[in-house]
Amino acid sequence: MLTSLHIRNLALIETLELPLNQGFIALTGETGAGKSILLDALGLTLGARADTSLVRHGCDKADVQATFDIQALPHIQSWLETQALRDEEEPNTLLLRRVVRATGGSSAWINGIKVPAGQLQYLGEQLVDIHGQHAHQMLLKSAHQRQLLDAFADHNDLLNQTQSAYQRWRHLQKTLAEKRALQADQADQLALIAFKLKDLDALNPSTEQYQALSQQQTQLAHAETLLHDSQRAAEALNGEQGASHQLTLAVKALERIAQIDPQLTALLTQLNELRIGVEEAGRDLHHYAQGIDLDPAQLAQVEEELAEYHRLAKKFMVEPETLAAYHAELKSRHEQLLHMDAHLDALEADMAQAWQAYETAALALRASRQQAAECLKAAVETLIHPLGLPHARFSVQLNEQSADASGMDQVTFMLTTNPGQPPAPLHKVASGGELARISLALEVALAEVAGVPTLIFDEVDVGIGGRVAEQVGRLMRRLGAHRQVLAITHQPQVAACAHHHLKVEKLQQAEQTRTQVIRLSPTARAQELARMLGGATITDTTLKHAQEMLAQGQR
């Protein structure tokens, strides 16, 4: 859960350290006080797009940090471990930080280590679920309804199996289409490849052979130079007055004087080894010179073979070194074309098998959705009846649709709010207010089965009041019994049900405007509820009503 939020120089907030508790937390305050800034700040730490307009006027950067308790989230701890981001000193704590610069750009950190903002987003999706006041508009879209049903069913394994099976089937389908298109001009392809192979088969190119011919051609072309210079070098080493002769004289001289001064023994050994090495090098050069071939006919033969390599390389627009690989590729394509019919039969069999696997997975997914649909129907109806819709009937209809990665089901949420009326798709029968309440009921139903530890409701109770608002508050308090729930609300009935109450207010001092957040005591809570009930002037009657509302909400 979210344990604290630290903000510096963000919009109207100069500095704010906000500790947060478990349970249902209500955030209230006048319109424009800055309640949405808190959501913007949290959103930044969860990887939201950085907006430079959020940086407080006159400051060079905004800095936001969110701290989470992840003791009950082993999958988050494991991910941090694999990414080398876990805090070894406090393994149950996660610190997310985001800095937005006024000049543009932002930086992100996880447990003090700089990371891409995308990693914040990955963690954010598993830590916090934010429901905005316009989220219910998404509820009208069939694809979103299917996603909600799947989230409620919590059958990710079936979804992954269906998606993988569909992707394999589509890949085989695409491959088969490409092979069939190739088969259409199979005769022309075979003739063209056979024409190319005629020249290549005659040469039978080899990369090793080409490299050997190139080296041999270089040696033969420079044979006279190689012979002349190697003979000169051999003579300089082992000739009558060569280096070997001079070293021999030096060795004999040292042998005589080393008997007088033993200190020269090491130098004598060194010179003798050098003499032996020079003699061996001279002999090797002599043998090398004897092996040099000055045959012009052989040079002509090598150059002729190389010319054929270059001619075919130019003809087929490849490098001479890759001619052998090109030859092998053509032979492989020729073989495939000759056996195209058998290959197509095998592909068709594989595709049929892949479709069967997809169909099996999709039907298992459908069965799970049907079971979840009945449970979701019961859960939503139980939740919406106290929300001013006592006669509403909610259901989930599954219709067959074209196959895709999500299965073969079109999901439609159905509703009737009046007795005796048949159910119809949600977008045809639900008014704005009804849709908001159904959306809230769905969110509560999903929240009770989903694994995200922190839920945020941003003014989702707009347009309701009285008894219905009280029921909304009780729903959120019910969630807060086992999850952390933060709700930005203008409804006193909702705020009265919260376990904790924070007030956001805007202050003006010395021509400066700033936002602060105050944790309210029971007495201050009653004052805030009275303000929400009665406006600027709080009467004794209004205050007493607020106190009674608070007492009722805490039961």
Average pLDDT, stretch 381-403? Answer: 91
Domain endpoint, select from 289, 318, 338? 338
Q: Provide the pLDDT for residue 227.
A: 63
Average pLDDT, stretch 241-247? Answer: 80
Q: Provide the pLDDT for residue 269.
A: 87
**Is 203 part of any domain?**
yes
Tokens of 539: 């009467």
Q: Provide the pLDDT for residue 222.
A: 66
Q: Provide the pLDDT for residue 479.
A: 85
Q: Provide the pLDDT for residue 271.
A: 87
Whether the CB-CB separation of 12 and 515 falls below 8 Å is answered with: yes
Confidence of residue 372 (pLDDT cuts 50, 70, 90): very high
Average pLDDT, stretch 4-19? Answer: 92
pLDDT score of 500 more than 90: yes
The count of structural domains within the chain is 2
Q: Which residues form the domain of 517?
A: 1-133+459-555
Lowest-pLDDT range of 22-31, 131-140, 426-435: 131-140
CA 237, 243, 249 angle in degrees (round to 5)?
140
Q: Are residues 123 and 226 in the same domain?
A: no
Domain endpoint, select from 338, 364, 393? 338
**Is 451 part of any domain?**
no
Q: 467-488: per-residue pLDDT in tens?
A: 888 988 998 898 888 889 999 9
Q: Provide the pLDDT for residue 216.
A: 74
Q: Are residues 553 and 478 in the same domain?
A: yes
Q: Are residues 224 and 129 in the same domain?
A: no
Element (H, E) at 68: strand 61-69
**Is 413 part of any domain?**
no
**Is 246 part of any domain?**
yes
pLDDT score of 492 more than 90: yes
Spatial distance between the Cα atoms of 441 and 419, rounded to a whole number of angstroms? 20
Q: Are residues 257 and 324 in the same domain?
A: yes
pLDDT score of 226 more than 80: no
Q: Provide the pLDDT for residue 388.
A: 82
Instruction: Count Cβ atoms below 10 Å from residue 231 Cβ, excluding itself.
Output: 16
Cβ neighbours of residue 458 closer than 8 Å, sequence gap 6 or more: 36, 39, 130, 131, 132, 133, 488
Spatial distance between the Cα atoms of 485 and 550, rounded to a whole number of angstroms? 18
Bigger pLDDT: 34 or 554?
554
List the CATH number of the domain containing 51: 3.40.50.300
Q: 515-551: per-residue pLDDT in tens?
A: 889 999 999 999 999 998 876 678 888 999 999 999 9
Bigger pLDDT: 371 or 469?
371
Average pLDDT, stretch 195-223? Answer: 81
Confidence of residue 141 (pLDDT cuts 50, 70, 90): confident
Average pLDDT, stretch 9-14? Answer: 89
Q: Are residues 106 and 194 in the same domain?
A: no
**Is 507 part of any domain?**
yes
Q: Are residues 208 and 333 in the same domain?
A: yes
pLDDT score of 9 more than 90: yes
Bigger pLDDT: 398 or 249?
398
Bigger pLDDT: 195 or 20?
20
Q: In the chain, pLDDT over 90 holds for what percent of residues?
A: 38
Cβ neighbours of residue 538 closer than 8 Å, sequence gap 6 or more: 527, 530, 531
Q: Are residues 90 and 206 in the same domain?
A: no
Average pLDDT, stretch 229-256? Answer: 79
Spatial distance between the Cα atoms of 74 and 461, rounded to a whole number of angstroms? 34
Q: Are residues 126 and 191 in the same domain?
A: no
Spatial distance between the Cα atoms of 538 and 552, rounded to a whole number of angstroms? 20
Q: Provide the pLDDT for residue 223.
A: 62
Q: Are residues 215 and 95 in the same domain?
A: no
Q: 77-131: per-residue pLDDT in tens?
A: 999 999 999 998 999 999 999 999 999 889 999 999 999 998 999 898 889 888 7
Average pLDDT, stretch 264-282? Answer: 85
Q: Are residues 333 and 191 in the same domain?
A: yes
Q: Are residues 110 and 230 in the same domain?
A: no
Q: Provide the pLDDT for residue 523.
A: 92
pLDDT score of 136 more than 70: no
**Is 352 part of any domain?**
no
Its pTM stands at: 0.62
Q: What is the mean pLDDT of the chain?
A: 86
CA 32, 34, 36 angle in degrees (round to 5)?
105
Q: In the chain, pLDDT over 70 holds for what percent of residues?
A: 93
**Is 354 part of any domain?**
no
pLDDT score of 378 more than 70: yes
Domain endpoint, select from 287, 312, 338? 338
Average pLDDT, stretch 327-333? Answer: 87
Element (H, E) at 88: none
**Is 530 part of any domain?**
yes
Q: Are residues 83 and 217 in the same domain?
A: no
First to last CA, the chain: 24
